Structure 1
Amino acid sequence: MTNSSNCSDPDLKPYYAVTYAVILVPGLVANTLALWVFYGYMKETKRAVIFMINLAIADLLQVLSLPLRIFYYVTGTWEFGGGLCLLCFYLKYVNMYASIFFLVCISVRRCLFLIQPFRAGECRRVCDVSVSVAGWAVVCVACLPFPLLRLHKDNTSTCFVDLPIEKLDLPTSVTLMTMGELVGFVMPLLIILYCSWKTILSLKEKNSASHDLGEKKKALKMILTCALVFLICFAPYHISFPLDFFVKTGRIRGGCVQRVISVFHAVALCLASLNSCVDPVIYYFTTDEFRRRLSRQDLHDSLQLQHLSYSRKHSRDVLVEDTTE
């Protein structure tokens, strides 16, 4: 097939710019507020709070890179050097796959807390921190092929979707795509679905007390929300990514086919970025403690407590200064 006037390459930069501009402020506010609540008021909670903190950090890092993306898609040129371009490009995928990893960790943690409460209770905060550190390390290493395949020296005025991609032979391309899809999408999806299934089975147990039944319903709501966010934000991207890769490397030809794949991939990228705004919904609607801490009365009480603590500290400092004179 050859390109026709009806199947020319679409200019998708304005759509990227609008989408990222819409995501920027809500994502920044919501994830900053989430970290404030987690660090300040939920230190006593053991149910996946460490993984929620890391998920909020991953989302916040992605949001902080959006101004540079918006600037590029509005102006059409990159003026900050190839190194910063590749770094922002790389961090996009690191943050996305870190979000996937921690969504899985939240689901597994909540499921284990119900099915094996005593064993899950033995996994203290240090265990969750260790898993988080290992997860960040694995994700950072696994995402290195993304910038390495986009290294370019000839033109430093382009970035992000306009970066040229290194052409690979077909067996290498298929191997990389298969590994990426299996490890980055299929396995996490199967784990989340398995956790959902096990939690549903635990709800059907007849010997469950009313308190246990309530906890199981809360856990199921959180796990199903993680699965829903996972499917909405990441499934379209992992369907479109191999197709877009083969279009950019010339494996798929045909004007109309390329146009459809390019538009679909653009929509999928925007949905994947939308994850940074959707994740705080998980915290609010599936975590009673988080919702309670954000209530008007609780916020008022906490601010009064902080003001009282500051006043007492200030008075004590003044008294010490008076006694030393």
Structure 2
Amino acid sequence: MNENLCGNGTIHEIKLFQHYIYAIIYSVILVPGLISNVLALWVFHVYIKETKKAVIFMINLAIADLLQVLSLPLRIYYYLNKSWPFGHGMCMFCFYLKYVNMYASIYFLVCISVRRCLLIISPLRYSSTKRRRDRCWSALGWFIVCIGCLPFPLLRQSPTSKDICFSELPMMPLTLASGVTLVTIAELIGFLLPLGVVLTCTWLTAASLREKNCILQDSGEKRKALKMVLSCACVFLVCFMPYNITLPLDFLAKSNMKISCALKNAILRAHPITLCLASFNSCLDPVMYYFTTDEFKRRLSRPELPESFHLHRRISSATTEVTALQSEQKSEDTP
């Protein structure tokens, strides 16, 4: 970063502002994100057996959100204490994990949208999709995202001070053409293409509701599918669009290109906020599950949730009693 453009004092103020923003917003996300995603995984694992309605993709999305939330305590510690005592390897891993989870969330939101759209447009063809196929698409998505996010840590150099981590790690020297190419690829493949797919699925699902031969029951299913696809599009627009708008601007501000001091300060203050906003999807996704998935809402309703815990308790007690009876029987048979 060309620190001489705005003066060292201004750069120091921006750094303090970034630490303040990151510490506050990550602290706000931590508890609700952790509870809601653990609860979502519990509901999906215990109750929902069928693979229609993109359940496999929802499970993977919840895993991506949970991994992101689990990395937040170390980030909060760093931004509050302005030091990193956990080693350079852990720093690079947490830095890498942030982008893996963000782009994995984008990928699985796309999968959910496409899956629901195909179920509505061609129900006879896609209603019998096997669980194995969804798992293969999920594994492929994790592989692509993990490979695609490698440039984020690989383009960072080892810091001169052991107390520096995350976005403050020094960048490797890049030509302007190389930097523009990398940012363009990240924008096209990581955001614009997925956004285009989600918006297309939204349009196709909405168009299917206007068909004249749509019966009442079919219309209800299509409305549920449209609600799900619209929710995916809203998460995209609210969480990921602001970040992807400021991403190329942040590269511009941190390069050696001559831009005005006011514009540079505005970009450097806006980009951390949009990055934190991208992390809010870990709290919004469980809300999407609740309001768009009947099974999820029913299992978290007041009558059924206590019953489920009571059922597990009775099963556990019955298992304990059977084990005790078997032990007594063995002791009686032993001479």
Q: Quote the Cα distance in structure 2 between the aligned partners of 1:250 and 1:160.
A: 21
Match 1:310 to one of 316, 327, 331: 316
- Once the two structures are superposed, residues 68-98 of structure 1 have per-residue CA deviations (whole angstroms, 9 ceiling, x without a partner) of 1001100111111111101100000000000
- Once the two structures are superposed, residues 240-285 of structure 1 have per-residue CA deviations (whole angstroms, 9 ceiling, x without a partner) of 1111122223235332111100111011011011111111111001
- Once the two structures are superposed, residues 115-168 of structure 1 have per-residue CA deviations (whole angstroms, 9 ceiling, x without a partner) of 111221232111000000000000000000000111225222101121111221
Q: Quote the Cα distance in structure 1 between the aligned partners of 2:105 and 2:8.
A: 40
Letter matched to residue 117 of structure 2 = C
Q: Quote the Cα distance in structure 1 between the aligned partners of 2:273 and 2:192.
A: 20
Question: Is the Cα–Cα contact under 8 Å of residues 82 and 156 in structure 1 kept in the other structure?
Answer: yes
**What is the match of residue 64 of structure 2?**
58
Letter matched to residue 261 of structure 2 = G
Q: Quote the Cα distance in structure 2 between the aligned partners of 1:145 and 1:155.
A: 22
CA drift of 1:46 comes to 2.1
Match 2:6 to one of 3, 6, 29: 3
RMSD value over aligned CA atoms?
Answer: 1.6
Question: Is the Cα–Cα contact under 8 Å of residues 240 and 264 in structure 1 kept in the other structure?
Answer: yes
Match 1:144 to one of 150, 160, 168: 150
Aligned: 1:232 with 2:238? yes
Q: Quote the Cα distance in structure 1 between the aligned partners of 2:159 and 2:323.
A: 59
In terms of mean alpha carbon deviation, does 81-90 or 116-125 score higher?
116-125
Q: How many residues align?
A: 325
Letter matched to residue 3 of structure 1 = C
Structure 1 unaligned residues grouped into runs of 5+:
none
CA drift of 1:239 comes to 0.7
Q: Quote the Cα distance in structure 1 between the aligned partners of 2:115 and 2:137.
A: 11
3-state SS, counterpart of residue 167 of structure 1:
coil
**What is the match of residue 167 of structure 2?**
161
- Once the two structures are superposed, residues 196-229 of structure 1 have per-residue CA deviations (whole angstroms, 9 ceiling, x without a partner) of 0000110001111111100000000010011001
**What is the match of residue 36 of structure 1?**
42
Question: Is the Cα–Cα contact under 8 Å of residues 91 and 166 in structure 2 kept in the other structure?
Answer: yes
Letter matched to residue 123 of structure 1 = T
Deviating beyond 4 angstroms after TM superposition, the runs of 4 or more aligned structure 1 residues are 4-9
With CA pairs under 8 Å and 6+ residues apart, which has the higher RCO, 1 or 2? 1
Question: Is the Cα–Cα contact under 8 Å of residues 165 and 249 in structure 1 kept in the other structure?
Answer: no
In terms of mean alpha carbon deviation, does 198-207 or 308-317 score higher?
308-317
Structure 2 unaligned residues grouped into runs of 5+:
none
Letter matched to residue 6 of structure 2 = N
Name the TM-score, length of structure 1 as normaliser. 0.96
Q: Quote the Cα distance in structure 2 between the aligned partners of 1:174 and 1:45.
A: 41
Letter matched to residue 209 of structure 1 = I
CA drift of 1:4 comes to 6.7
1:1-325 correspondence to structure 2 within 5 Å: 2-3=5-6, 9-10=13-14, 11=16, 12-325=18-331
Report the CA distance shift for 1:151/1:5 in structure 2 as closer, same or farther (over 3 A): closer
CA drift of 1:237 comes to 0.5
